Structure 1
Amino acid sequence: MSDRVLYLEPCAFAGFPLDPADHLRTDETWIAERLADDNSLFVVFHNQKPLMDVSDKKLPMPGFLDCSQIPEEALATAVFMGLLDKHAVFAVELGNCISEEEATGDTAKFIDLRNVAIQLLHEEFSPLPALLGKAKSLLDWHTRHGFCAVCGVATEIGNAGYLRQCPSCKAQHFPRTDPVVIMLVYKDDKMLVGRSPGWPAGNYSALAGFVEPGETLEEACRREVKEETGIEIGKVDYIKSQPWPFPSSLMIGLFAEAKTEEIILDKKEVEEARWINRAQAKMLLLTGGTDDMRLAPYSIAIARHLIEQWVAQRD
């Protein structure tokens, strides 16, 4: 670990930097005027990748455009993100309008959001991934929910992008976020880490799983750990949360105290799981790990926050 205390910072994709100004979303006249206003700013995506200004070789920055640079088709489905000072900020998806090559140049590129977040957050916390992450989640939701789940008719965008209305049965559909529990399982001075099938060799992290209907967070945590590793969980403590825009989840970080130690794997879910002690975990974090084991190597993941916090508890 460096001198940076990662777990004391907000997680990646947290810290939304704009005034959401949600009271303006239903003001259709104001929204229409801002969509045609040269002072408005547009965060642009192409197939879920944000347009980034790469003229500064140190860090990419969001490539804000104005309304004159946005195709009319994209303006019709723009999502209002909020206010930056007095500037209205919108997000648009260009994937159905123009090619990626047409929208880029020598100083602007569409870059995968994970890579953007890793670069922006490498040395210190930045709120910019939160803006890009929220925009990506909302635009992806519109792409996936173009038809009414009740009657199948094509829906229409409303509330500046925070609603889809069915013109036939009048059902209203709102953006959804999937809750996911992610838990650092520990017992005495050991913690449990696992790796999912398909992960890069040597990468280990905290266990995680989606919350099912009718579950509390504690129940979801106990069920997931039991299903994946056979470990029985007792006490569960909430630590922190993280918006995760891939495509749209809320990662709910927990510490979970194990009552048992025997590992019985569900190989479809977890390829391998191990107990490691606090000293081993600290050394892996300090050194970056080995080919055999690296702990949550991506600092943008809440798992890294959880592991570092647990390791630091008895330093």
Structure 2
Amino acid sequence: MRLAETVTFGGGGLDRSAALRADAAELERMLHDPTTRLLPIWRSKPMVRGDGVLSLASVPRGSNLLASRKEAPIFLGRSEESAWFALDVSGWEPDGQDVSTVGAFADHSEQTHPEFPEDHRFADLKMVMTRLAPRDAELAATARGLLAWHGAHRFCARCGAESLPAQAGWQRNCPACGAFHFPRTDPVVIMLVTCGNSVLLGRSPGWPDGMYSLLAGFIEPGETVEAAVRREVFEETGVAVGDVTYLASQPWPFPASLMIGCKASALSAEIRLDPEEIEDARWISREEVLAIFAGRHPEIRGAREGAIAHFLLSHWLADRLD
């Protein structure tokens, strides 16, 4: 798919400068360089600034907000000659501000810190991802994914001792047994399953009313991408799938997935739902998908803009999958 890397979080071209992660002297120099950008992340929400088109907000090294950080800064890489570091400032308490939806499926709340202008605020990345430039979106996704991994892997999986961050945040080491731990990414297949002029859409329990998307599922150990596509579609809907082709991928740091987008041809059209896997599934015609995108479908709301499901469906509508 020629447009594969135009997916949200893809194609940012961030220079990750992995060779610098073990260079303590250079990391320290960069942290004190006035051109270095420090990105605060509060409870998985990056600080952004602006209206309409947004950009990531960096804060000065002497900011009081940074006193709330939990661990050492994480080196994200270099962009436009500036080094970028992410800092977890979740220890800050936004007194008097709404935090009731933080961590929810859809968190529209935004929190502001009194030290910064009102257009600087912490926002859910899923809510603002399409308003960020590709480089900023990649930086934010990388920061969110790494900090989520650190938060969930503080203890050694081998012996249970508390581990310590290393390699500028790209590793955790166990001081007790010497084990090394690395950020994990969970591979997920997401399928554009077609039958003639129709595509297979489904919904999971707990999704907002009317929301449908492409079927998706985790790849199991010892399984190929193609086998995972066929298994997941059959398990959820009873639809048998034949040919499978790769289309595009998307890092999805909610918390740690890589969405592997595929096109699959159905061998059967009958749907037999597994209620433990999925709440509903339907064949939706191209004309209906067009109505969904236009917001005119009477029953169905489409996939979230910025998600790979929305990306694949829009290119299927435009006949641009090749």
Query: Is this a same-fold pair by TM over 0.5?
Result: yes
Distance 1:47 1:104, change over 3 A: farther
5+ long unaligned stretches in structure 2 = 95-112
Q: Would you say 1:308 and 2:303 are equivalent positions?
A: no
Question: 1:46 aligns to what?
Answer: 42
Question: 1:238 aligns to what?
Answer: 246
Matching residue's letter, 2:307: A
Matching residue's letter, 1:311: L
Question: 2:103 aligns to what?
Answer: none
In 1, the alpha carbon distance for the partners of 2:3 and 2:202 equals 20
CA contact (8 A) 1:7 1:309 kept: no
Q: Would you say 1:114 and 2:108 are equivalent positions?
A: no
In 1, the alpha carbon distance for the partners of 2:222 and 2:160 equals 27
Q: Alpha-carbon deviation of 1:102?
A: 5.4
CA contact (8 A) 1:201 1:291 kept: no
Q: Which one of 221, 229, 234 corresponds to residue 213 of structure 1?
A: 221
Matches within 5 A, 1:143-292: 143-285=151-293, 287-292=294-299
Q: Would you say 1:81 and 2:76 are equivalent positions?
A: yes
Distance 1:103 1:144, change over 3 A: farther
Work out the percentage of aligned pairs sharing the same amino acid: 41
Q: Would you say 1:90 and 2:85 are equivalent positions?
A: yes
Give the TM-score of the pair, scaled to structure 1.
0.88
In 2, the alpha carbon distance for the partners of 1:153 and 1:44 equals 28
Which segment is superposed worse, 111-120 or 224-233? 111-120
Q: Which one of 12, 23, 28 corresponds to residue 24 of structure 2?
A: 28
CA contact (8 A) 2:10 2:134 kept: no
Per-residue CA distance 1:90-149 (angstroms, 9 max, x = gap)? 0000013x32445655232111111121433xxxx6332111011110111111111100
Distance 1:179 1:8, change over 3 A: closer
Which segment is superposed worse, 274-283 or 65-74? 65-74
In 1, the alpha carbon distance for the partners of 2:3 and 2:279 equals 27
Matching residue's letter, 2:317: V
In 1, the alpha carbon distance for the partners of 2:199 and 2:80 equals 45
Q: Which one of 272, 294, 299 corresponds to residue 301 of structure 2?
A: 294
CA contact (8 A) 2:71 2:88 kept: no
Q: Alpha-carbon deviation of 1:89?
A: 1.0
SS at match of 1:203: coil
SS at match of 2:220: coil
Q: Alpha-carbon deviation of 1:306?
A: 1.6
5+ long unaligned stretches in structure 1 = 1-5
- Measured on the aligned residues, the alpha-carbon RMSD in Å equals 2.3
SS at match of 1:68: coil
How many residues in Structure 1 have an aligned counterpart in Structure 2? 301
CA contact (8 A) 1:46 1:93 kept: yes
In 2, the alpha carbon distance for the partners of 1:243 and 1:233 equals 25
CA contact (8 A) 1:50 1:62 kept: yes
SS at match of 2:271: coil
Distance 1:277 1:84, change over 3 A: closer
In 2, the alpha carbon distance for the partners of 1:85 and 1:272 equals 46
